[in-house]
Amino acid sequence: MESKAQWVALATIVRKEIKRFSRIWVQTLLPPVITMSLYFVIFGKLIGSRVGTMDGISYMQFVVPGLIMMAVLTNSYSNVVSSFFSAKFQRSIEELLVSPTPNVIILLGYCAGGMARGLCVGALVTAVALVFTDIQVHSWPLTISIIVLTSLFFSLAGFINAVFANTFDDISIVPTFVLTPLTYLGGVFYSINLLPDFWRFVSQLNPILHMVGAFRYGLLGTGGEHVAWAFAGLMVFTGILFAASLYLLQTGKRLRA
């Protein structure tokens, strides 16, 4: 397949994925924005006024990076897992697999769609956050790199979940029993410095904690003790998920009847 044709194929998949969530924006973009707005009101204003400061900054500013990250990762994940599983369930993915389109183009197309939705929701949540507090970005390169890599990481994770899912119920197991607990225990609403030593060590095994911490440092310049390790780890594990996803496509495991 020529390079020009590959670009056309990639653009077609990405455009299809973006239209998929944008044409029903009331169901895909608006609900997470409303949910995060309630978090800002309840945790930021009502509870935050009593908490005061957290790690040397106001509690409202402290929760903003975590809520943005929560919105990005959940929407990146859910977009890919639902879209690809629907294609798999309807057998339309088989037509794409037997076409001349390279597997890497298929994977990049679906992941780009998930990233587009995740980053779009993240931008909307950021706009809402600016209503409640001021945000002075500490490092634009780090902030953008972390949020883009996180979006890609969870898009790939959603893709793998869709490949192994057998029913529509299966695509909700990981978000409900894995993703949600890890997110709420990932330092979004509290600092792990408040925890006893043992639970602080256990919390550091949570990858989302390091993603949120690195993003918070890039955005606010606080809590940057392990940013380099978090960034390197995120790149490594994103590469591993990409390789695993590409392998699943190439072998056709659970994709072909």
Give 12-59 pLDDT, tens digit per residue: 999 999 999 999 999 999 999 999 999 888 877 777 777 778 888 888
- Between the alpha carbon of residue 54 and those of residues 151, 189, 194, 207, 208, the distances in Å are 26, 10, 10, 21, 19
Residue of 162, 159, 158 whose CA lies nearest to 170: 162
Q: Count structural domains, the chain.
A: 1
Instruction: Provide the percentage of residues in the chain whose pLDDT is more than 70.
Output: 98
What pLDDT is stored for residue 256 in this prediction? 67
> Residue 257 above 60 pLDDT?
no
- 126 located within any domain: yes
* pLDDT tens sequence across 113-140: 999 999 999 999 999 999 888 888 889 9
- 189 located within any domain: yes
- 256 located within any domain: no
- 172 located within any domain: yes
Q: Which residue has the tokens 């895909």?
A: 28
Q: Band of the pLDDT at 103, cuts 50, 70, 90?
A: very high
Give the mean model confidence (pLDDT) for residues 242-250: 94
Which amino acid type is present at position 29? L
- 257 located within any domain: no
Between 4 and 247, residue with greater pLDDT: 247
> Residue 192 above 80 pLDDT?
yes
> Residue 86 above 70 pLDDT?
yes
Domain that holds residue 220: 3-251
- pTM assigned to the model: 0.93
> Residue 4 above 80 pLDDT?
yes
Q: What are phi and psi of 154, to 5 degrees?
A: -80, -20
